[in-house]
Every structure is written in C-alpha cells, then in structure tokens.
Structure 1
Amino acid sequence: MRTRVRTPDPARRTPGPFVVDECRECGHAFQNPRITAQAMAARDTRGRPDPSVERALGARGIRRRHQAAARAMLPYPEPESWLDVGTGHGHFPETAREVHAYTSFDGLDATARVQRARAAGRIEEAHQGLLTDPEIAGRLRGRYDVVSMFHHLEHTPDPRAELRAALDVLRPGGHLLVEVPDPACAFATLLGSWWVAYDQPRHLHLMPLANLERELRTRGCTVVATDRAAPHVPYDLTGALCLALVRRRARSTLTRACAPLLAAASALDVGLAPLLSRTRFSNAYRIIVRRPAKIRAASSA
C-alpha cells in the first residue's frame, strides 16, 4: 500500500488527519483507519457536506445528469420496477419518471428523507434502512428490473456486500446502474488533499472502474455499458477553493469577499466541463451491468 492523501477534518470535530491509502497493485483507495460507526453516526456522514461548501457548489447540473442516467437505460427492455438506493429526497426518481413514464420507482435510504420523498410523490414505496439488512434484502429479493446507486457505493463500509445485495433484489436479466467518483481522475493528482471528491470522512472507498468491472464479472454479470463523460460533476476547482476557505475558518467569506473568486472558479468548472469530461480529468464514471440468471459467489480476497 501507499498513502494517497492526508486530509484534515474540515469540520474540526476530530483531532489529526484522515488518511486515504491505496493498493499499489489494483488502485483501490480507502479510508485507513476507517472512522468508527459511532463517529459516523455522530457526524451524520451520510448526510450533506458542510453547508457553506454545498451552497457554493450548488446543484451543478444535477438534473441534467439525472436525465442522462435515466436515458442510459433506454436501449434495454423497459423496466416495470426500479429501486433507487441512497435516494435521499427522491430527486432522481422524480426526474427519471419523465423518461420512463410507465416505470414504478421505489426508493431506499438510511435516513427519514426517503419517507419525505414518498410523501412528496417522488417515489411509490419508501424503504428506510440499509440494503444489506437481511430483513430488507429478504423483503425486496427479486423484485426489481433496475437498481441504481448514484454516489452511494463510496459511502458504504463494505461495497462488495452492497453489490451482492443489489444483485439479490434484481430479477434475472435485470440491470444494475452505478455511478461513483473516479480515483483515476487527474484532478486527484493535481489538487491532492484539495480534491473535493475525497470528501473525508464520508467517502470510505474509491474504486477504479476496472476493479468494479472485475468484481461484477466475477459474479457472472455482463458489463453492457460504461461512461466517463456524462457523470462528470463540474465542481473540482470550486470545491478546492471552498475547502481552502473552510479549513481556514473563512466560511463567511464564501458569500462575501470571495464571491467573485468563487464565481470565476465555478464558471471555469462549467465552461471546461464539455472538454474535461472526455479526458482523464473526468471525476466520475457510470457502469451498467446485466444480472445473470444465477449469481456466482465471488472470492473474498
């Protein structure tokens, strides 16, 4: 292994840095040591990032990316049922319904936001909890034609268990759609600890595309599509600037003295996105796989 980055706690709630190590052989990066479950709960690590950072970054074309992800499933049989894992407030199902008008969208989330999503009519069924929970997994087994995970897998302590559970709730021949940050992104090297996608301590794992493909193929899945362009989120330069301000306890400047600088960084991120998304500077990728009739057990190595 090698240490990929050391990053301070942006909220200054714990002493010392968070460390992201990387396997030299396969490129898998992970938080080491991992934050404890108690600390994760106390920090609400599955919730939103620092509010000042979030306000500065804004939505960054999230509706456009949701539409692109929904359209990515058009070449395949029209799904009757779709489960969005880590759905939050249900904004993806709400947008995807415009593309798949005859699909029933359900949502799963660890927080009560999924109940509010159902109350708002964005999803039909709300499942609060973890997909790896035996009770939830048993209840949902074999129910869905599509399972989607948008920037969810990197938050989980055991990505293999999440993938196994996702395949279990799919029907044979169903599709799993995953979008995650790309640790091979050139911005990670260029910006170091200022790369916003490290998002410590919330991101526990950063998986190269080849690793995820290999893991799913090991389980008998067929990789039907990959995409590094459409999932790119244009926030790298703006995020680095926000992190610099937050770490220096200059949060109030995010909306005052530094507003012109933030606006310039944002404009640069957005303006360069059409070009950068087609290069190694793309910061995320999408993979779509088809579930086999029978899932093979994978090695625990």
Structure 2
Amino acid sequence: MSDGAGVQLGAVEQTLMIPLYGRAVETRKRRPLLSDPRAVQIVESLDYDFTRMKASASGATGAVLRTVMFDVWVRRFLAEHPDGTVVEIGTGLNTRFDRLDNGRVTWFDLDLPNVIALRRRFFDDTDRRQMLPASVLDQAWVPTVQTGPGPYLFVAEAVLLYFEPHQVEDALHLIGANFPGALLAAETGGRAMADSVNRNDVLRSMGARMTWMCEDPAEVECLGVRLLESRTFLEPPPELRARMPLRLRALSLVMGAVFRRRVRSYRLNLFRFVEDVTEPRPESASR
C-alpha cells in the first residue's frame, strides 16, 4: 500500500491506520474517551481511503479502548518515574507522547524505516523524543535507547500479535538482556481472538494476520518476564472506568455477553523483565 506520496507500507504496517482512524473518530464525539486533535489532522491530510474502516465502528472503538488502557500504565509509570524512559515499539502514527508528555520523560518511537519515513511528515525529533527507524528485532536500536535514563517502559500496542512465535521470543530476549527490570505493556490473544481477527474484513483486505497465539499471559513468563497485571476490555483500570462514557460501558457489556469467549481471549498485560540477566533461558522458551 502507498499513502499516495511515495511511502510503501506492508500488510502489518497498514494496520497503523486503524487506531489512527479510531482516535480521530472518537475525538469528534460529544463526550470522547480520548481527545486527539492531531489524529484528526493526520487523517484529514493523508491520501488514504478510510472507507472500509467506517463500516467497522466496533473495531475502531476497540482500538481506542485499547489505547486508553495502555495510556493508564504509561501515566502510572510517569507518575512514579517522571524522568524515566518510554519506548513505543511499532509506534506507527501514535500520538501517545503528545498526549501524555510530562515535560521530563525521555521517549523513543521505534518502527520500521518506511513507517518512520511516513511518521516524519507529522512529527519531529526533539531533545527528549527521538524516532528510530528499525525493527525491534534489530540490535541496532539498543545503544541509542540505553542513553536514556532508567527505569524503562516498553509499550507494544497491537504489535506482537502479528509476530511469529519465535520472533516474539527473540524480541523479548533482546529487550530483557539489555534492559533488565524494565516494564513491558503488551497484548496476548488466544485462538478465539485469532479466529476473529483473521476473519476481520478490514484486516483481511490489508493482508494482515494474527500469528502469535497465547491462551494465558502467564505462559509468557517462560521468556524471562513476570506478569504484573492482566485485563480484558471488561475489566478496565479503576481510573479509566470512572470516566468511561455510558455508551462505552454499555458496549463492553454487550460485547462481553455476545462475544464472551472472544473478549476473554484477548488480554492487555503489564510484564516486568527479570533482573538477573545471567539466569538461563527456560527450556520451554527455545525454538
């Protein structure tokens, strides 16, 4: 896919348009859960056909709910570590730094070179935010991020689900070996979730597929992390639930009743990498 101005995006990279569109739509609502005027500006300026997303309103709403749930963990991290470092893996056209910046955090936006090329049309590097054109699987980004002050929070929103299982293992091992004790916010999804995602008309039209399946986020602990918190869309954090519009609370209840297995198969998780980097990798984590 080309955005009409020379940037080519692959199947998985195209999925960045879904949360972007969702934030723009949410911002225009009378009582938005998230206000993101920058997303509105980007959607209006991109030469991209968002028509197919208009027919999937629940998908856009789900992307917004996911984003604000991840935002809660970022806010908590910045409240406890205002001078820490946040790394957004697969940043796409996310505006999380613009929305949550506390004036002190060091921030790195990491994504593939073609995505960063697109991102640079709308965002600039600053003394505290830097865009890194690289795959999370590429060791090259590590030394730059290590210049940022600890502790570290890595945010992988709508990224790992599209990796092959061995790529998830490689990514977590790379982060854990270089940033022991760091936090990681990431999703897991089981078979019910994968079946739903892979039948989704928008994702199918993009050619994207969910390839990493995990029925229980505790299973990821064999890759050198500890599970600290895990939530479904039916279990938003208290500080988020208190400000959720009635329409979203109702939607969550309906989705939970109608798509119970699917909703419970998809979890948003907060992990911490083990701090003993000399600890041998578990046998079950090897390819």
* 1:272 correspondence with 2:254: no
- Could you tell me how far apart the structure 2 residues matched to 1:228 and 1:85 are? 21
* AA in 2 matched with 1:44: G
Q: Give the direction of change, closer, same or farther, for the CA distance of 1:193–1:89 in structure 2 (3 Å limit).
A: closer
Q: CA RMSD in A?
A: 3.8
- Could you tell me how far apart the structure 1 residues matched to 2:161 and 2:197 are? 18
Match runs of 1:1-301 below 5 Å: 44-48=10-14, 51-57=50-56, 59-60=60-61, 62-73=63-74, 77-78=80-81, 80-97=84-101, 102-110=104-112, 111=115, 112-116=117-121, 118-119=123-124, 124-141=129-146, 143=148, 145-157=152-164, 158-170=167-179, 172-185=180-193, 188=195, 194-195=199-200, 199=204, 201-210=207-216, 212-215=217-220, 217-229=221-233, 271-277=250-256, 279-282=260-263, 284-295=266-277, 296=279, 297-298=281-282, 299-301=285-287
- Could you tell me how far apart the structure 2 residues matched to 1:65 and 1:192 are? 15
Partner of residue 28, structure 1: none
* AA in 2 matched with 1:167: G
Q: How many angstroms does 1:272 deviate by?
A: 3.5
- Could you tell me how far apart the structure 2 residues matched to 1:219 and 1:192 are? 25
SS at match of 2:228: strand
Which one has the bigger strand percentage?
1
* AA in 2 matched with 1:109: D
Count of residue correspondences: 218
* AA in 2 matched with 1:276: M
Residues 109 and 130, structure 2, Cα contact 8 Å, conserved in 1: yes
Gaps of 5+ in 2: 2-6, 16-48, 237-246
Residues 84 and 93, structure 1, Cα contact 8 Å, conserved in 2: no
Q: Give the direction of change, closer, same or farther, for the CA distance of 1:193–1:225 in structure 2 (3 Å limit).
A: closer
Q: Give the direction of change, closer, same or farther, for the CA distance of 1:73–1:140 in structure 2 (3 Å limit).
A: closer
Residues 231 and 267, structure 2, Cα contact 8 Å, conserved in 1: yes
- Could you tell me how far apart the structure 2 residues matched to 1:287 and 1:192 are? 19
What is the TM-score of this pair, normalised by structure 2?
0.61
Per-residue CA deviations over 1:46-104 (Å, capped at 9, x if unaligned) read 3325843223335426444323212135555335110000001132333333xx56433
* AA in 2 matched with 1:159: V
Q: Which is higher, the Rg of structure 1 or of structure 2?
A: 1
Partner of residue 31, structure 1: none
Identity %: 12
Residues 185 and 271, structure 2, Cα contact 8 Å, conserved in 1: yes
SS at match of 1:130: coil
Per-residue CA deviations over 1:131-172 (Å, capped at 9, x if unaligned) read 1112223433484510010010122342211222333453x3
SS at match of 2:55: helix
What is the TM-score of this pair, normalised by structure 1?
0.58
Residues 162 and 212, structure 2, Cα contact 8 Å, conserved in 1: no
Residues 148 and 177, structure 1, Cα contact 8 Å, conserved in 2: yes
Partner of residue 261, structure 1: none
Which one has the bigger helix percentage?
2
Gaps of 5+ in 1: 1-10, 12-40, 233-267
- Could you tell me how far apart the structure 2 residues matched to 1:130 and 1:48 are? 15
